[in-house]
Chains A and B, each alone.
Chain A
């Protein structure tokens, strides 16, 4: 699947960044990050704290503007386009700290997600109430089925702020899936959850891949990376240090010397 000499993915890039930079008060959080995210695969974005991983995700999803560089979904340029435009191109994201819509029920959280709902327009509200009702029923059925898959069905009528931390994590992913993504950016989907749940979430992510979704996930746990990710991007000090399979990166002495050595050994010895 990967070209063994260059480590670049043979598949087409679903998402690409070219020389992205972003500085906060003169400090470069991202300093020329460039990488391709292969289509239909699970890619891990790893690197030490402060490497700029979350900033990259924020820039790609439109939550933050970058200072220079360009980003593409397929061939469509998305550099500094607003969040909602990027989401409508099929790129959905989750947040490192779960951001549930606390005042809404779990089911409502799901129902917010679909794009272009007929019922978001006043004209339809007046003229086509039947269409809205039908669409609502369809969305609700799909949402309930998804909630069942993610083990949240029994909590469908609970206000999201009353969920436990792990349940919020699950809801965060389920809500993004509800929006029918082609590309999903997951910001530490398994941080702070128990091992059983890590297993479960890993299964969901693989399942998404099997349904054709391209996944880019920030992850610290190299066991997880080894188990489910096809491809790894290493960021350090805001730059792309290396890309490739985890096994290849272990053999890359530069990477190991520069930073990865301990982390990978520690990860492998578990």
Chain B
């Protein structure tokens, strides 16, 4: 029984990482209407930004490094959109070109990270935290902070979308870009802001993934990518709240299943859930209005 609760605890940590990553991916997908296959590498690069600030230069506290590294990643995402993805998406109307470009971007980023930081496993410099009992759950202080960060970010995104002008514009654009443009919304500005948010969330997710798993390599994000896809599709592509729910389900399902079957296959559980969702309910658990 304690093994079960232990894995539930891990499940919440994984779900937190996933939720941040999935919301970042969904925000960008909703606005630009194509999937960013380099998102896993965005995460890893964000993690490395934090790693450099934390361990190589400045020697910042891990949480400060997390914030700065993620913001840096947000800026990086904006630059990538301006220089590469945006122009390609505007020039080629068929979606497969820009998908191939993001796939290529993923290869470039991964190998650039390998070139700079090598293939060895990196660790964040952070105090070893004692484990705490919370009800039946057993979590370290760092894991609790990860969960808290995720909850805070989700509430932040919720407030942004529901209570601000910017959020309303983003939702309008996600529903219908042309309509949003004709009703006077500055779509270019919204796109830039969305890429910044998406990149920042990727940075946070990549860093907390490194903290949660205890290590970081350039390939960290790559294997995690399809777990994010599973969460996003389970929740309904483009739906922010669906992505949050999907992340919780996938996070718990993979970690709890790891307590009962060989943990090496926990990623495959996510894949099975992904396939089942696509077969039974292709639009996801929460269908997004406007996509039929």
Contacts and interface: CB of A to CB of B under 8 A. Distances in A.
A–B interface present (Cβ within 8 A): yes
Interface of A: 24-25
Interface of B: 289-290, 292
Instruction: Summarize B's interface: helix, strand, loop or mixed.
Output: loop
Contacts of B292: 24-25
Closest 4 CB pairs of A and B: A25-B289, A25-B290, A24-B292, A25-B292
Contacts of B289: 25
A24 B289 CA distance: 10
4 contacts: A24-B292, A25-B289, A25-B290, A25-B292
Contacts, number: 4
Contacts of A25: 289-290, 292
A24 B176 CA distance: 14
Nearest to B290: A25
Nearest to A65: B292
A25 B287 CA distance: 11
A24 B292 CA distance: 8
B289 to A, nearest CB: 6
B123 to A, nearest CB: 50
A99 to B, nearest CB: 13
A50 to B, nearest CB: 15
Nearest to B289: A25
A25 B289 CA distance: 7
B58 to A, nearest CB: 51
Nearest to A24: B292
Nearest to A64: B292
Nearest to B175: A25
A104 to B, nearest CB: 15
B211 to A, nearest CB: 42
A25 B176 CA distance: 13
A260 to B, nearest CB: 30
Contacts of A24: 292
A230 B290 CA distance: 39
A24 B290 CA distance: 8
A25 B291 CA distance: 9
A70 B257 CA distance: 47
A36 B260 CA distance: 63
A75 to B, nearest CB: 31
A34 B76 CA distance: 57
A69 to B, nearest CB: 18
A25 B292 CA distance: 9
Contacts of B290: 25
B282 to A, nearest CB: 14
